[in-house]
């Protein structure tokens, strides 16, 4: 092959790599559903189907993170709630471990936390096996990896020993506050306010997406394969279509966690041991000693949403 041909092949290869464009993996926490006790089975099934239908329509291979305690009523496993998890798998989505009862690793001991991870495993393994899948991913509740080096290292070593892959988050956000606001609006049957809240949610998420894109550019000189965190809640059940369409409008295609994690950015060191549950982009930036200015311009949750959600501070 001549030198010119080699150069042409290199140019072609480079353009193919860049033509892959922006990628994001969608991860959805707190399955089967947030505030599960407040809705009838009929509503719960309807909301889950809405959520999954929107994901299917946009070919977004989401991974759901399960807290099996939410599938229990008065200590008994509820078959409707449990079968919702099967629905995720039947429709081709993946499920990961988010602990049984969502404990905060900053507040409980290592052994209490590990017991809670393991309590989630038997039934999760069972339904994954039914769908010829295995349990691979683990997501930290509140994104708390451990608020001391020793605590973080011991849990990371445990997860590694069990062949878990930690599921990081790059696009962290206040979607959960919007969801609480939306739930409180739904109770009032004020349809106009519900629609306005939904619209404000999409606008906020777009700002957040662009903010973390910028942070990625600043930290890595490129937009890494992003991982978005949202929850299985009524807000996303009603607005998943709009949310995914907004992401596509911003030039993204949807990938699964395996593909997202192939990005070398995820090998970046994280030595953040404070109490906050924050984006991995923030963790890496803090680890690299970035100053306060580096984090400037992060979109905040609007006051009216905080008020509706009855949250004092983000
Ligand atoms: Zn959670």
pLDDT tens digits for range 116-139:
999 999 999 999 999 999 999 999
> How many angstroms does the Cα of residue 7 sit away from the middle of ligand 1?
49
Q: Is residue 241 part of a domain?
A: yes
122: left (phi over 0), alpha (psi -120 to 50) or beta: alpha
Q: Is residue 235 part of a domain?
A: yes
> How many angstroms does the Cα of residue 16 sit away from the middle of ligand 1?
37
Q: Is the omega angle on the peptide bond into residue 144 within 30 degrees of 0, that is, cis? A: no
> How many angstroms does the Cα of residue 6 sit away from the middle of ligand 1?
50
Q: Is residue 200 part of a domain?
A: yes
Q: How far is CA 8 from CA 1, 15, 20, in A?
A: 11, 11, 19
What pLDDT digit, counting tens, does each position of 256-292 carry? 999 999 999 999 999 999 999 999 999 999 999 999 9
12, pLDDT greater than 70: no
Average pLDDT over residues 37-63: 97
Q: How far is CA 94 from CA 27, 52, 66, 234, in A?
A: 10, 12, 10, 20
Strand partners, 229: 27
Domains: count for the chain:
1
What pLDDT digit, counting tens, does each position of 184-207 carry? 999 999 999 999 999 999 999 999
Contact 27, 169 (CB under 8 A): yes
Query: At which residue do the structure tokens 């000693």 appear?
Result: 289
> How many angstroms does the Cα of residue 275 sit away from the middle of ligand 1?
16
> Structural domain of residue 100, as residue ranges?
22-309
Q: Is residue 6 part of a domain?
A: no
172, pLDDT greater than 80: yes
Q: How far is CA 91 from CA 48, 50, 61, in A?
A: 12, 13, 10
What is the reported pTM? 0.93
Q: What proportion of the chain, given as a percentage, has pLDDT over 90? A: 92
Q: Is residue 15 part of a domain?
A: no
> How many angstroms does the Cα of residue 34 sit away from the middle of ligand 1?
9
Q: Is residue 10 part of a domain?
A: no
Average pLDDT over residues 129-154: 98
> How many angstroms does the Cα of residue 99 sit away from the middle of ligand 1?
9
pLDDT at 133: 97
Q: Is residue 257 part of a domain?
A: yes
> How many angstroms does the Cα of residue 63 sit away from the middle of ligand 1?
13
Distance CA 149, CA 86 (A): 37
Contact 117, 103 (CB under 8 A): no
> How many angstroms does the Cα of residue 113 sit away from the middle of ligand 1?
14
> How many angstroms does the Cα of residue 98 sit away from the middle of ligand 1?
7
> How many angstroms does the Cα of residue 11 sit away from the middle of ligand 1?
44
> How many angstroms does the Cα of residue 206 sit away from the middle of ligand 1?
22
Q: Which of 234, 179, 178 is nearest to 43 (CA)?
A: 234
pLDDT at 1: 54
DSSP 8-state symbol, 29: E
Q: What proportion of the chain, given as a percentage, has pLDDT over 70? A: 93
Using DSSP bridges, classify how beta strands 76-77 and 72-73 pair: parallel, antiparallel or unpaired: antiparallel
Q: Which long-range contacts (CB under 8 A, 24 or more apart) does 293-296 make?
A: 294/215, 294/218, 295/215
pLDDT at 311: 73
CATH number of the domain within which 26 lies:
3.20.20.370
> How many angstroms does the Cα of residue 241 sit away from the middle of ligand 1?
22
Task: Return the SS3 of 73.
Answer: strand
Q: Supply 59's token pair.
A: 């070919």
Q: Is residue 305 part of a domain?
A: yes
């Amino acid at each position: 092959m001549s030198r010119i041909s080699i150069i042409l092949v290199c140019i072609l290869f480079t353009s193919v790599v860049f033509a892959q464009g922006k990628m994001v993996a969608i991860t959805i926490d707190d399955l089967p559903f947030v505030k599960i006790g407040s809705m009838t089975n009929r509503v719960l099934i309807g909301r889950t189907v809405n959520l999954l239908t929107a994901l299917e329509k946009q070919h977004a291979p989401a991974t759901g993170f399960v807290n099996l305690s939410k599938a229990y009523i008065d200590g008994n496993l509820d078959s409707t709630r449990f079968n919702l998890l099967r629905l995720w798998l039947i429709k081709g989505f993946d499920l990961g471990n988010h602990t049984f009862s969502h404990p905060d690793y900053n507040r409980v001991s290592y052994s209490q936390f590990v017991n809670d991870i393991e309590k989630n495993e038997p039934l999760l393994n069972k339904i994954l096996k039914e769908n010829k899948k295995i349990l691979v991913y683990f997501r930290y509740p509140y994104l708390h990896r451990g608020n001391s080096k020793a605590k973080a290292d011991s849990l990371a070593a445990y997860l590694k020993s069990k062949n878990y892959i930690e599921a990081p988050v790059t696009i962290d956000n206040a979607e959960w506050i919007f969801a609480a606001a939306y739930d409180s609006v739904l109770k009032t049957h004020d349809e106009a306010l519900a629609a306005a809240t939904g619209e404000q949610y999409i606008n906020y998420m777009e700002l957040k997406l662009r903010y973390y894109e910028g942070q990625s550019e600043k930290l890595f000189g490129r937009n890494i394969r992003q991982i978005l965190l949202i929850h299985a809640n009524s807000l996303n059940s009603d607005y998943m279509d709009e949310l995914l369409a907004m992401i596509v409008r911003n030039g993204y295609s949807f990938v699964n966690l395996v593909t997202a994690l192939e990005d070398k950015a995820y090998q970046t060191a994280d030595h953040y041991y404070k109490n906050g549950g924050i984006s991995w982009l923030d963790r890496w930036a803090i680890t690299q000693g970035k100053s306060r200015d580096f984090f400037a311009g992060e979109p905040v949750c609007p006051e009216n949403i905080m008020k509706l959600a009855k949250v004092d501070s983000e």
